[in-house]
Amino acid sequence: MIDLHTHTDESDGTLSPQELIEEAGRIGVTALAITDHDTLAGYDLAIPHANTAGIELVCGVELSIKYRGRSIHLLVYFPQHQPTGDFRQWLLALQEGRRKRNEALVRKLCSQGMPITLEEVAAHGRRLLARPHFAAVMVEKGYAASRQEAFQKYLDESGSCFIPREEPEFEEAIDRIRASQGIAVLPHPGRIGVSPEHLESMVGELCALGLKGIEVYHSEHSPAEVDFYLYLARKFRIAATGGSDFHGAAKPGIALGTGLRGNLHLPHTILQELRRIP
């Protein structure tokens, strides 16, 4: 059993890198990718623990990017090579954009009668603060009944306090990924929110620009969606990847390795296919 989509408390997960490795060892995960948002810190910290546990650790990161005006996510894997210093420096620049967005979000919340400080938000995160950390503070202070309500009413794109952040265009991201010998994969494609026909066209366009895989297997995917995404992978001759998108207590229904109510059990051959990509 493997899991190629997980998060630690170095981004918006709740387990430390060491705790994530310990949980992976406990349940029998043999290969694990840490794909924190905009940072490799969780992966770096997990390396000695994975070595001790005998778990194959794959370097990864999840990016937020723009494609034709639409914000989408992109998983980047380094199954054969370590990311370059230039790529790491680029991630630091992305983190700076996140920091500016967070400061603007604090100002917006305060302007709508919900005073929150970055110090309060930081108590729920570590070096990289994200909207789930804001949602936790909003629940604590009684501004929202739940994290879900905090997102729906205030923090999501349709929310009254939503603040967009600067995101690189897909072409720029692909150039950076190629230069660092990484592999770009489209995660949880159902979240993009377009029709199957539109998604098929979009994936074709992204593949022409350098996309190398699509996340076929994910905790949120229904059997019909898995079949469709597998069809897209085969049609465009790209890798079919998968992962739980584990966040710990931030997404309590999602289990490491096995996803939502046991709907995942990914074989090692998925990682082998990823490693065969030139």
**Could you report the per-residue pLDDT of 7-37, keeping only the tens digit for each?**
999 998 999 999 999 999 999 999 999 999 9
Please give the structure tokens belonging to residue 123.
Answer: 């108590």
Helix (H), strand (E) counts: the chain: 10, 9
Please give the structure tokens belonging to residue 232.
Answer: 């897209």
How big, in percent rounded to 5, are the helix, strand and coil portions of the chain?
45, 20, 35
Least confident interval from 23-27, 52-56, 129-133, 142-146: 129-133
CA 219 to chain centre: 13
Please give the structure tokens belonging to residue 143.
Answer: 């501004």
Pairing of strands 213-218, 31-34: unpaired
pLDDT of amino acid 158: 86
Q: Say if residue 98's pLDDT is above 90.
A: no
Q: Could you read off the pLDDT of 29-68 as tens digits, one per residue?
A: 999 999 999 999 999 999 999 999 999 999 999 999 999 9
Read off the amino acid at residue 239: A
Q: Say if residue 122's pLDDT is above 90.
A: no
Instruction: Say how many C-beta atoms besides its own lie within 10 A of residue 27's C-beta.
Output: 12
Q: Say if residue 125's pLDDT is above 90.
A: no
The owner of tokens 């723009």 is 66
Q: Average of pLDDT values for 133-162?
A: 91
State the pLDDT confidence band at 154, using cuts at 50, 70 and 90: very high
More confident residue, 210 or 70: 210
Distance in angstroms (rounded) separating the CA atoms of residues 143 and 264: 36
pLDDT of amino acid 165: 82
pLDDT of amino acid 142: 95
Q: Say if residue 179's pLDDT is above 80.
A: yes
pLDDT of amino acid 259: 96
pLDDT of amino acid 126: 72
Q: Say if residue 84's pLDDT is above 90.
A: yes
pLDDT of amino acid 268: 94
Which domains occur in the chain, in start order?
Answer: 2-91+166-275 (3.20.20.140), 96-155 (1.10.150.650)
Distance in angstroms (rounded) separating the CA atoms of residues 169 and 137: 31
pLDDT of amino acid 97: 85
Q: Could you read off the pLDDT of 202-231 as tens digits, one per residue?
A: 999 999 999 999 999 999 999 999 999 999
Cβ neighbours of residue 255 closer than 8 Å, sequence gap 6 or more: 244, 246, 262
Q: Report CA torsion sign: 126, 128, 132, 135.
A: positive
Burial of 234 (0-12, 13-18, 19+ CB in 10 A): exposed
Q: Say if residue 250's pLDDT is above 90.
A: no
pTM above 0.75, yes or no: yes
Q: Average of pLDDT values for 171-180?
A: 96
